[in-house]
Amino acid sequence: MNIAALVSGGVDSSVVVHQLKEAGYDPTIFYIRIGMEDKDGYIDCPAEEDIEITTYIARKYGCKMEVVSLHEEYWENVVSYTIDAVKRGLTPNPDMMCNKLIKFGCFEQKWGKEFDKTATGHYATTTEIDGKVYLSTAKDKFKDQTDFLAQVDYLQISKLMFPIGNLLKSEVRDIAEKQGLPSAKRKDSQGICFLGKINYNDFIERYLGKRTGKIIELETGKILGKHNGYWFHTIGQRKGLGLSGGPWFVIKKDIRRNIIYVSNGYGVETQFGKTINLQGFNFITEDPWGEFDDEREITFKIRHTPEFTHGRIRRIGDLYRIESDEKIQGIAPGQFSVVYDKESHLCLGSGMIIDDQV
């Protein structure tokens, strides 16, 4: 079997190469260049150290290696989606889009198509049921990354391999140390894909600029301060508001009038909701429910956290509606709600959260 291994120079994908070699495969390693530098060289994200480590891994295991660029594709797809979402007052998820459109989209069209499988260092597994492949959660529930993968389609999932999905992060680090891999002690990357390496606010400011607006207390209508533009703020956000006497949480945004509404204190009712409406639901493998009038028991996540929340899903026309068993903080339109079976084993798909006035 011909395998393309996507290797970033981080510990997880380095161990992917080791695991594949141990299993008797001879993967071709691909490092994808998606630095954030643009034509003016404004945002610079040097990939040289990553490429050095990836080259070392390729040599150590005697694998072919290619450094490829999906720079423009990343800008055209993920960056423009992110800016557009933020401008519309939504909370984007560039990680999910990067996986769907870049790592398993453009990469597949240009290079992956020559291979039988594409392997990555995501914490996820696949499960075969009645001859069909499903995305399923990792052994390490804390590191599970299925939520970032929940926009992929059936062709994509059936081609993917996650060689470390059945290992705990601690086991991955042990292997890397025993094998003397230079990535053994590298820090984990912190979400937001390639955008994560740059200052998010600088990036947003570059594209959307600044516009002063009011911060208003939701309950009293009192003006508490100023902000530089609603696009810097997200529903549920606590830090970076510059208000005293906190904690303050962003509850609502009026994008037409550029107003941010906040509430004070932990556990304030306005921060919570139990109903989540989803638009454009993407089933990864298939719709397991078909037409149904009642509800189905599920677990779900609305952000990248280790916990799964229990709830029930029902269909309302083209929408899906989740009623959560517990109150959830910071339900942000634009984010994806990722839906799992009730055992939190199979990841069924995801839909984009829309305002609840439906």
Ligand X SMILES: Nc1ncnc2c1ncn2[C@@H]1O[C@H](COP(=O)(O)OP(=O)(O)OP(=O)(O)O)[C@@H](O)[C@H]1O
**Sites of contact with ligand X (CB under 6 A):** 6-8, 10-13, 30-32, 103, 120-122, 188-189
CB of 75 to ligand X, least distance (A): 15
CA quadruple 254, 354, 217, 213: dihedral positive or negative?
Answer: negative
CB of 67 to ligand X, least distance (A): 9
CB of 341 to ligand X, least distance (A): 24
CB of 249 to ligand X, least distance (A): 28
98 belongs to the catalytic site: yes
320 Cα distance to chain centroid: 21
- The reply, when asked if residue 9 is annotated as ligand binding, is yes
Per DSSP, the three-state class of 203 is: helix
336 exposure class (CB count in 10 Å sphere: 0-12, 13-18, 19+): buried
Torsion of CA 350, 352, 353, 355, to 10 degrees: -150
Distance CA 224, CA 114 (A): 58
Of 32 and 215, CB closest to ligand X:
32
- The reply, when asked if residue 192 is annotated as ligand binding, is no
- The reply, when asked if residue 13 is annotated as ligand binding, is yes
CB of 38 to ligand X, least distance (A): 17
- The reply, when asked if residue 339 is annotated as ligand binding, is no
Of 10 and 213, CB closest to ligand X:
10
Q: Name, in order, each residue with C-beta under 8 angstroms of 2's C-beta and a sequence gap of 6 or more.
A: 28, 114, 115, 116, 117
Of 122 and 321, CB closest to ligand X:
122
Of 180 and 245, CB closest to ligand X:
180
- The reply, when asked if residue 32 is annotated as ligand binding, is yes
- The reply, when asked if residue 17 is annotated as ligand binding, is no
φ/ψ of residue 132, rounded to 5: -110, 145
Q: Which of 201, 218, 198, 219 shows the shortest CA–CA distance to 210?
A: 201
Q: Which residue is nearest to ligand X (CB)?
A: 10
CB of 234 to ligand X, least distance (A): 21
- The reply, when asked if residue 144 is annotated as ligand binding, is no
Cis peptide before 247 (omega within 30 of 0): yes
CA quadruple 101, 106, 112, 114: dihedral positive or negative?
Answer: positive
Of 120 and 350, CB closest to ligand X:
120
Distance CA 267, CA 248 (A): 11
- Token pair for 184: 């053994």
- Token pair for 47: 């990939």
According to DSSP, residue 46 is labeled -
Sheet holding 3-6, edge to edge: 65-69, 28-33, 3-6, 117-119, 160-161
Of 105 and 229, CB closest to ligand X:
105
Binding residues: 6-13, 32, 121
Question: Which residues fall in the annotated binding site for ATP?
Answer: 6-13, 32, 121
Positions marked catalytic: 98, 193
